[in-house]
Structure 1
Amino acid sequence: MGIVVYAGSERFSTSLDDRLTRHSFSFGPHYDPANLGFGPMICHNDDLLRPGGGYPDHPHADLEIVTWVLDGVLLHTDSTGHTEELRPGDVQVMSAGSGIRHAEVADAGSGPTRFLQTWITPDEGGTPPRWRSEHVDPGPGLTQVVGGQGLPIGTRGAELAVARLAPGEAVDLPDAGLAHAFVALGSGFVPGRDVTVGDAVRLVDEPGARFTATDHTELVVWSFSR
C-alpha cells in the first residue's frame, strides 16, 4: 500500500527542434531500472509540438496506444488509410496489434499542440490493427474515457478517466489495485502532499484517496485491476 508523488520537474525529457517530450518512465536513451512502468503501462509521455512538428511515419506492434489532446490540433495518419484531426477533448485508442505505421504531426496553422500519450501492453498479441476515437467533455467528477463505459481497449481492467475541477472541487481516486493520477493542468493536493502541473501520483492499494484542486485543474487518471 502507498501513495508516491513523482514530480514533473524530475522527469526525463527529450528536447528537439520541433518538440519537447517529458517521460514518466524509462524511454529510449533514458533508462532507470527502478522506473520501467506501472502495471501494464509502459509509457506515459507529455508532448508539446511546435506547429508542423512531431513524429513522422514510424511502426508499432502489440501496444494499446491512447492519445488525449490538451491543446492545438494533432494530425494522425496511418497505414490502414485512416486520417484524423484530434483536438482538445478528443481521445484516440489505437491497437497496433500485428503491426501498424502511423504519423502524428501538429497542424502547422493551429499553434503549439500538447497531448498525452500512454502505451499499455495488451492481453493478446498479433491481433488485427484497429483504432477508435471520440470527443469527451469531462465534468468535475471523473468522466470515463477509455475502458468501462468509455472506448474499448485490449487490456482487461485498464480504465482512463478525466476530471476538470474548479478550485476547491475534489474527486475520489479509483479504488483499483493500481491508480496513476496525472496533473495535466492546474494544481491540488492528495493526502500529505501538494501537486502541480506535470506531477503524477501513483497509488497502490489505496482505497479512499482523494484529490482536491487548488486551481482550475485537469486531472487524467489511469487505473488497473490486479
Structure 2
Amino acid sequence: MTDAATRPRADLRRAPERYRSTPAEGIETRHAFSFSGHYDPKNTHFGALLACNEETLAPGAGFDEHRHRDTEILTWVVEGALAHRDSDGHAGVVRPGMIQHLGAGSGVTHTERNVGGAEVPVRFVQMWLQPDTFDAPPVYGLRRVEPSADGLTLLASGMERDSGSAALRLRRSDAALYLVTAGPWQPLPALPEAPYRYAHLVAGSLGYRTVPGPQGGGRSMEPGDSVRATGPAFADPTAGPDGAELLLWEMHSPVSYG
C-alpha cells in the first residue's frame, strides 16, 4: 500500500478478512498484513506497523524457539496466560491487563506458549513495529497496566515527551501505543493526532465517522476489526452497548527502507 497520506482516510478491515494460518498443532493465527507464506504486495505494513496478529494457543500449545531481529514486539493478552522465555534470560507470564515488550535488536530467540497447566486457550494480540535504532542489544519489559480514568492509557512509547511516564520504552522515536476504553454508549476520549493511526478493537463495539463533519460516512466495528486512519479520519468514535476496548497506534512516519 502507499504510505503517502494524500487525503484523510479511515480504511476499515473486518476480522473475517484476516489471513488465517495454523503453523503448528493447537495454534491459530489471524494476520492483518502479509506474513510468511502469505504475501500481498499491497498489504505489507501501515505506517511503521509490520504485523498485527490475533493468536490463539490451545492448552499445551505454543511457538517453539524462533529468532527475531530489529523488531519491536508488543503483546496484549485478551484471555488466559502466555509464557515467554528468551535467549537473554528473560522470562515472564503475560496475563490480561499486562503489556509485554520485546525489542529484538541485534537478535534474540524466544518461545511463547500457553502457560503450563492451563485448561483454556490463551488469546492475545501481537504487534510488530519497525524500530528506528538498529542492531542494538535486545531489551525486554513487562508491566501491569492501571487504566487511566479518562479512558486513554499509554502502554508503550518511544517519544521524548513520554520519557518520564510508566510506559514501556520503544526504540521508535515517533510512535506510541495506547489502550482506549469507554463505557456503554460513551464517546471515546480525545485520541492523539498523527499522520498514521491504527486502531484494533479488542472487545465491545463502536461506531465512528470516516472523516469529521457531515461528509463523513458512518461505520461500525466489532471485535477483531481494525481501522487504518490517515490524518483526521476516524472521527467521533463512540462505544456500543457493551462499551469498547481498543488498541491504538500513534505513528508519525512510515516504514523506511535502506
TM-score higher than 0.5: yes
Indicate conservation of the 8 Å contact 2:72/2:103, yes or no. yes
- The answer for the alignment partner of 1:217 in structure 2 is 244
Secondary structure in structure 2 of the residue aligned to 1:134: strand
- The answer for the alignment partner of 2:201 in structure 1 is 183
Which of 1 and 2 has greater Rg? 2
Which of the two has greater strand per residue?
1
Secondary structure in structure 1 of the residue aligned to 2:78: strand
Unaligned runs of 5+ in 2: 1-7, 210-217, 254-258
- The answer for the alignment partner of 2:186 in structure 1 is 169
Q: Distance in 2 between matches of 1:82 and 1:121?
A: 22
Indicate conservation of the 8 Å contact 2:101/2:140, yes or no. yes
**Identity of matched residues, %:** 37
- The answer for the alignment partner of 1:53 in structure 2 is 61
> Within 5 A, what are the aligned runs for 1:70-89?
70-89=78-97
2:34 is the alignment partner of 1:26: yes
Indicate conservation of the 8 Å contact 2:10/2:233, yes or no. no
2:204 is the alignment partner of 1:204: no
> Which of 123, 134, 157 is the matching residue for 2:143?
134
> Which of 11, 18, 41 is the matching residue for 1:4?
11
Unaligned runs of 5+ in 1: none
> Within 5 A, what are the aligned runs for 1:33-112?
33-110=41-118, 111-112=120-121
Q: Distance in 1 between matches of 2:85 and 2:131?
A: 22
Indicate conservation of the 8 Å contact 2:185/2:243, yes or no. no
* Worse overlay, 38-47 or 108-117: 108-117
Deviation of residue 156 (structure 1)?
1.1
2:147 is the alignment partner of 1:143: no
Q: Which amino acid aligns with 1:117?
A: Q
- Note the aligned Cα RMSD (angstroms): 1.5
Q: Distance in 1 between matches of 2:248 and 2:37?
A: 26
Deviations 1:155-190 (A, max 9, x none): 011111002322112223321111011111111111
Q: Distance in 2 between matches of 1:39 and 1:186?
A: 25
Deviations 1:20-65 (A, max 9, x none): 1111100111111111001111111111111121211110111111
Deviations 1:57-76 (A, max 9, x none): 11011111111111111000
Deviation of residue 146 (structure 1)?
0.5
- The answer for the alignment partner of 2:212 in structure 1 is none
Q: Distance in 2 between matches of 1:216 and 1:48?
A: 23
Indicate conservation of the 8 Å contact 1:173/1:179, yes or no. no
- The answer for the alignment partner of 2:21 in structure 1 is 14
Q: Distance in 2 between matches of 1:130 and 1:105?
A: 20
Deviations 1:130-154 (A, max 9, x none): 1111000324611100113311100
* Worse overlay, 138-147 or 54-63: 138-147
Q: Distance in 2 between matches of 1:190 and 1:88?
A: 26
Q: Which amino acid aligns with 2:114?
A: A
Indicate conservation of the 8 Å contact 2:10/2:234, yes or no. no
Secondary structure in structure 2 of the residue aligned to 1:9: helix
- The answer for the alignment partner of 1:125 in structure 2 is 134
Query: How many residues end up aligned between the 2 structures?
Result: 226
